[in-house]
Structure 1
Amino acid sequence: MNRDQLQAFLRVAQEGRLSPAAKGLGLSQSGLSRQLQALEAELGTRLLVRTPAGAVLTDAGERFLPHARRALDALAAGTSELERLSGTPRGPVSLGTLHTVGAYLLPDIIPTFARRFPEVRPRLSEGMSTALEDNVVRGVLDLAIVSLPVRHTDLVAQKLWEEVLVLAVPRGHRLTKVTRPLALADVVEETWVVIPSMSGTRALEAECEARGVTPKLALETDNAEAMRRMVERGLGVALIPELMARDHQSRGFDVVPLAKSGLKRQVALVHRGEGYLTAAARELKSFIVESVRAMPEPWGGGKRTGAAPGPRVR
């Protein structure tokens, strides 16, 4: 058996379906199936069964799963030792990130990293904080950029920055002409485009509950770019982080600051610990932290704290 087969098995076990697992690994579905079949042939037993609801682990698959994770961890540790000897970080690094960070910050960082470390192959995936954390814990991701607080107490978290949330409205919206400071309570009856589970959405739901109103939701999405474009098209308003609003003048929406809102998000880089990171993953981690720290304030009052590693979350 080999690393690719073990990674294929772990990804299918995590996703529960072959199609998203294949996409996440950059394989065709038939290529993924061949990896799984080769692994099962090597082990002489079925690990997965396809059902209408997806791929389900057999009893043998459940028993093999923790061993596959430990085997990949051991391979990663061995690879890291060899990389130290060669002095050249190389190989794949899986980085998970929030949609907004993937779209609005990493394009300023990853190309420079790729030029500096041409033998390292970053693999980027986007998602919500909870799913990203889970994938780091399972070993599917080496690193992840998530919103604090971190739920898993066995992850190491390094805070990168914090930023306030602002109100994104269609260009020329009536709220841009209001001269007095606006609170979230003043805009709860607007029509909204939201990403469920985002800090801004939770704050909106809490404010609506306090005022006894039901939020008018025009659209729920899990994609930040879709949310922004829907606002631009006039579908509704949205609470977005300053990172996403920094170049709004060149786009089709306006920004309305919320006075004394207290709405903010804290962004951190998480991993399972230095011992689990390859040399390539350590270089990417350090490069992201240093790049964020060296940037001028690109999103207004955002406060970054990337100077020193954060404590293990307890």
Structure 2
Amino acid sequence: MNTEQLRAFAQVAREGRLTVAAKQLGMSQPGLSRQLQALEKELGVRLLVRTPGGAVLTDAGERFLPHARRALDALAAGTAELGELTTTPRGTVSLGALQTVGMYLLPELVREFKSRYPEVLPRLSEGMHDALEAGIASGELDLCIMSLPLRRVDLVAQKLWEEEMVLVVPGGHRLARLKRPVALTEVVEEPLVVIPGMSGTHALEAACEARGVKPRVAVEVDNAEGLRRMVEQGLGVALLPALMAREHEARGFDVVEVTKGGPRRQVVLVHRGEEYLTAAARALKSFIVESLRRAGP
């Protein structure tokens, strides 16, 4: 039994004539007859008899008709609901982000997005690069804001912005008093505050290796805000994305530019492909891209 058979039966019951019903359904009369015969064979009863005045329902047909109509109505309702899911932004959308992005960029973006799409519930999570990429690949996350490179070639990445890395040092530090950009090789003797696995940490480790010295790690932390606060307390210096250092004048640390050719990061919006995105996810993706293109991070 299939929906074409049910529609054929319901249409004939409504019109009373096979020729009219076939025209309404956009099929030939022999094709309509085959659908009806297949349905009757499936049910094991006669549903209709032909008379000179048209098609007449049998007792079995009268009993079956309400059920057929309810089944078609339920199918139509389900189809409409799925249509809304793919065309109307509503419901939950999961967005992952690097900690630096989640803390310093997303609050304002999400506020503006919610004012435009109040029926969408953003579900936000922060994490490190590898965990975010795994979350997108598994379908746990709909969208993700992270940095390049990506390990998986089956993911779609759209560039959002590129930014330099800057040194964050305690207020009044000697590197800040130089009043000039510094090379990372000038930092290798300093105590370092790091997040293991972070791109800034890798760059500092590479600079130490280039000078043949072992990194002087003073503190390891697992989040960007903790890293910045450790610097404020004078425990060491850190290499951070410029996004995190915007409000340094109001805090107890200074920002030192890195010389030309220093480390940078490319930030991208990642997903599995348009076919995997709900209307809510597509709306959030477009909003993020358009907002950052217009105003920057």
- Number of the residue aligned with 2:258: 258
Contact 1:183 1:261 (C-alpha < 8 Å) held by counterparts = no
Matched, 1:225 2:225: yes
Between the aligned partners of 1:124 and 1:206, the Cα distance in structure 2 is: 33
The correspondence of residues 165-314 of structure 1 with structure 2, limited to 5 A, is 165-296=165-296
Residue correspondence of structure 1 range 26-41 to structure 2 within 5 A: none
Displacement of 1:80 in angstroms is 5.9
Structure 1 residue identity aligned to 2:206: A
Distance 1:259 1:119, change over 3 A: same
CA distance in 2 between counterparts of 1:249 and 1:175 reads 16
Quote the residue 2:83 is aligned against. Answer: 81
What SS does the aligned partner of 2:161 have?
Answer: strand
- d(CA) in 1 for partners of 2:130, 2:188: 26
CA shift, 1:79, in A, is 6.7
Q: Is the 8 A contact 2:113 2:287 kept in 1?
A: yes
**Equivalent pairs, count:** 219
Matches within 5 A, 1:10-159: 81-84=83-86, 88-159=88-159
Is the Cα contact below 8 Å between 1:167 and 1:257 reproduced in 2? yes
Distance 2:218 2:193 in 1: 6
Give the letter for the 2:288 counterpart: I
Tell me, yes or no, if the aligned pair for 1:168 and 1:256 is still in contact at 8 Å: yes
One-letter amino acid matched to 1:245: A
Give the counterpart letter for 2:135 in structure 1.
Answer: N
User: Under a length normalisation based on structure 1, what TM-score does the superposition of the two structures give?
Assistant: 0.67
Q: 1:173 to 1:150 in 2, by over 3 A?
A: same
Quote the Cα distance in structure 1 between the aligned partners of 2:262 and 2:123: 35
Secondary structure of 1:140's partner?
coil
Question: Which deviations, in whole Å up to 9, do the C-alpha atoms of 1:239-280 show, x marking residues without a partner?
Answer: 011111111112221101111242101100000000000000
SS of residue matched to 2:172: coil
Instruction: State the distance in 1 between where 2:247 and 2:281 align.
Output: 30
Gaps of 5+ in 2: 1-78
Task: State the distance in 2 between where 1:81 and 1:142 align.
Answer: 19
For 1:160-207, what per-residue CA distance to the aligned partner results, in whole angstroms no more than 9, with x for missing partners?
011000000011112111145421101111001111222211111111
Structure 1 moving runs of 4+ over 4 Å: 77-80
What is the percentage of aligned positions where both structures have the same residue?
65
Contact between 1:169 and 1:254, CA under 8 Å: does it hold in 2?
A: yes
User: Are 1:89 and 1:279, in contact at CA under 8 Å, matched by a contact in 2?
Assistant: yes
Q: Partners of 2:213 and 2:98 in 1: how far apart? A: 30
Question: For residues 271 and 81 of structure 1, what CA distance do their matches in structure 2 show?
Answer: 21
Q: Summarize deviations over 1:51-105 as a string: whole Å, max 9, x none.
A: xxxxxxxxxxxxxxxxxxxxxxxxxx99763334xx5311100000000000111
Measured on the aligned residues, the alpha-carbon RMSD in Å equals: 1.7
Structure 1 gaps of 5+ residues are 1-76, 299-314
The structure with the larger Rg is 2
The CA deviation at 1:221 is 1.7
